[in-house]
Amino acid sequence: MPLDKQIAAVLEQFSGLPEPDFSQLNAADYRQFSDNLMPPIPGEPLAEVRDLRVAGADGELDARLYRPLDQANLPLLVFFHGGGFVIGNLDTHDNLCRALAKQSGAVVVSVAYRLAPEARFPAAPLDCYRATCWLVEQAQALGVDASRLAVAGDSAGANLALAVSRLALERGGPRIAYQCLFYPVTDGRCGSDSYAQFAEGFFLTRAMMQWFWQQYLARGEQVTEPLASPLLAEDLAGLPPTSLISAEFDPLRDEGEALAQRLQQAGVACRMQRYDGMIHGFVSMAPFVERAAEALAVAAADLRAALN
């Protein structure tokens, strides 16, 4: 399939930006640049949007709660933002979280886990798991029904959602009813065919992902640990039912689709859908890319069905 015309127009807007020199790149500087690259888009009006503090693995974390309806005991969806474990924040994913809350009918809580390289692996997955446990513990105070719990994320955030599901399974933690994974990071080796095919020119590059992994891992051998590279886990049985969305022109396409296949082989109900003509990060473009809006609506419908 050719690139979607609306996606091609987005890529054209960024075509003049120079590729960073990743051998010299400072993470804090790149974070400042990247997190302010896209102008803010007015989000969906909701019954309640408020910032809060949640427990992390080593102190409190910022989070943001999105309540779509003015009522208590709605399902809880815990969301983790993408950004290669290095960039991204509550604001970069505000619009996506608003849309997920409105369309899924769940209270969404977006968690600002600690970022690398200041806090390297496994800080982020441990933060996300602890925050999820805390939200379940505080369900009554927050006015949510934690017996209907799902996790979601995009890219690195989808990797972290998977980590939370794995830790909950291993530690007897909260029962997670569903996970929604948008183009997940699943294999830190960065060696799939789609990495070679879409190494440059499609927003996310191979060099960028390799740099993200260098920032994230404290030691190279950690790349094979299941919390870092879930595709390399020996066993995926027992993980929650899953929606997994991939994009045709994405370096991460093959590793995400390989994970979906392995989940199905392990007996996990998994609906995988590739969106032709799309690039990495496309779901966040739903306000101005029609196909992205369709993908978001389908994923949100999956969540609504699973949680109701």
Looking at the annotation, which residues are catalytic?
155, 250, 280
Give the chain's radius of gyration (CA, Å).
Answer: 18
- Compute φ and ψ for 106, nearest 5 degrees: -105, 155
Beta-bridge partners for 67: 48
Beta-bridge partners for 236: none
Question: Closest Cα to residue 249, out of 274, 273, 275, 278?
Answer: 278
**176: which DSSP letter?**
P
- What is the rounded distance in angstroms from the CA atom of residue 265 to the CA atom of residue 61? 36
Single-letter amino acid, residue 260: A
Residue with tokens 């399902």: 75
Which helix (H) or strand (E) segment is 272 a member of? strand 270-279
CB atoms inside a 10 Å sphere around CB 58:
12
Please list, in sequence order, all residues whose beta carbon lies within 8 angstroms of the beta carbon of residue 213, skipping any fewer than 6 positions away.
84, 188, 190, 223
Single-letter amino acid, residue 152: A
- Compute φ and ψ for 81, nearest 5 degrees: -75, 155
3-state class (DSSP) for residue 87: coil
